[in-house]
Amino acid sequence: MNERIPIAGPSISQREIDYATDAATNGWYARAGEYPRRFEESFADYLGVKHAVSLPSCTSGLHLAMAALGIGPGDEVIVPDLTWIASAAPVQYVGATPVFADIDEQTWCLSAESVSACLTENTRAILPVDLYGGMPDYTALRAIASENDLNIIEDAAEAIGSEISDCKAGALGDVAAFSFHGSKTFTTGEGGMLVTDDDALYSRVLHLRDHGREPGDVHFRNTEVAFKYKMPPVAAAMGLGQVERAEELVARKRKIFEWYRDGLAGVEGITLNVEPAGYKNTYWMVNAVIDPKLNWPKEKLMAALSQEGIESRPMFYPLSSLPAYVGRAEAVLAAKRNEVSYRLSPWGINLPSALCLEHVQIERVTETLCRLLGKS
């Protein structure tokens, strides 16, 4: 039997190994903090934003963003129904309520219409997710945010390097968070980054992420009870290596998608990620939505692919359908309202998108998929 084809995984070069070794060996005393600072500076520079704060995860970044914006009990934050739970869980960490909005049929992200349908007098923020490397129409979302005095918190965990008209993902919200989990386009094993152009928000984040200490405080006199969210220096060293290889990693993700697109060209009944004019998608996960007429629900297709040595993942289940939320008032409403999320999710599947994959492996996936679907 052929070797299993992995769903996700990084590309680590000698550069990351050398930096991590240097951080572990020498990143102490006078050089303590050097790698987190260099990683933050390089990352901010790559995105074209003013501030970047390295963190233990993207989840902690979204939590800090909401805490720093003063979102709390009684407030509502609009999140897409179809995403990873890490987009929505931090809304509850600060005591606010997540409101699950539908996704757009093409972009699989929030739309102006779906957000408008969820606005109430308690709405404080919109949290768009750049799903699988694709992005929503931020011009439209920005218009709603301005009109209703809302903040935009961008979950860019899956979209490092994606762009709209040369503006990079992470630079489109008031504040954004990235993930460097081992499955993401850049990895530090576990890790995250918060980015913003807002000086006041940045200061507030630095204060909140270090147990309520002023940056530079040497007396350990905390002014409030807060959080401790920092990235370990050895992880930051790997992150620096990854960001220095950004062009290469992003090009590889796009190449993997191109192999799928070419391999599945002309095959009816399979819809892949879109890249509207003016957008650059970095395809964190290649996602295929299978025409229901072919009668291959995602669970059945995943099991069949696994038999063939091919790993896959389900397109996210709507959050409002998960045991974690089922029965909550906002989940009941969402399940009735979010027609597109509920219609697409059963037929969507993530195909192997690991950075280590070669053309022959993607060919094996596309050929197997076509054979299973009766298209070869």
- Our CA dihedral for 108, 112, 114, 120, rounded to 10 degrees, sits at 140
Q: How far is the CB of 71 from ligand PLP (least distance, A)?
A: 17
Contact footprint for ligand PLP (CB under 6 A): 57-59, 83-84, 86-87, 129, 155, 157-158, 179, 181, 192
Q: How far is the CB of 145 from ligand PLP (least distance, A)?
A: 20
Q: How far is the CB of 278 from ligand PLP (least distance, A)?
A: 22
Residue 149 phi/psi, 5° resolution?
60, 50
For ligand PLP, which is the closer residue by CB, 10 or 192?
Answer: 192
For ligand PLP, which is the closer residue by CB, 84 or 269?
Answer: 84
Comparing CA positions, the residue from 148, 124, 117 lying closest to residue 76 is: 124
Give the DSSP letter string of 125-150.
EE--B-GGG----HHHHHHHHHHHT-
For ligand PLP, which is the closer residue by CB, 242 or 368?
Answer: 242
Q: How far is the CB of 319 from ligand PLP (least distance, A)?
A: 11
Amino acid at 49: V
For ligand PLP, which is the closer residue by CB, 20 or 319?
Answer: 319
Residue indicated by tokens 């270090």: 210
For ligand PLP, which is the closer residue by CB, 230 or 375?
Answer: 230
CA 327/CA 311 separation, integer angstroms: 32
CA 118/CA 99 separation, integer angstroms: 7
The tokens for 228 are 């401790």
177 Cβ contact list (under 8 Å, min separation 6): 55, 58, 61, 62, 65, 153, 154, 155, 156, 157, 192, 193, 194, 195
For ligand PLP, which is the closer residue by CB, 58 or 66?
Answer: 58
Q: How far is the CB of 84 from ligand PLP (least distance, A)?
A: 4
Neighbouring C-alpha atoms within 13 Å toward the C-beta of 338: 32
Q: How far is the CB of 205 from ligand PLP (least distance, A)?
A: 16
The tokens for 4 are 């299993």
Q: How far is the CB of 231 from ligand PLP (least distance, A)?
A: 11
For ligand PLP, which is the closer residue by CB, 86 or 150?
Answer: 86
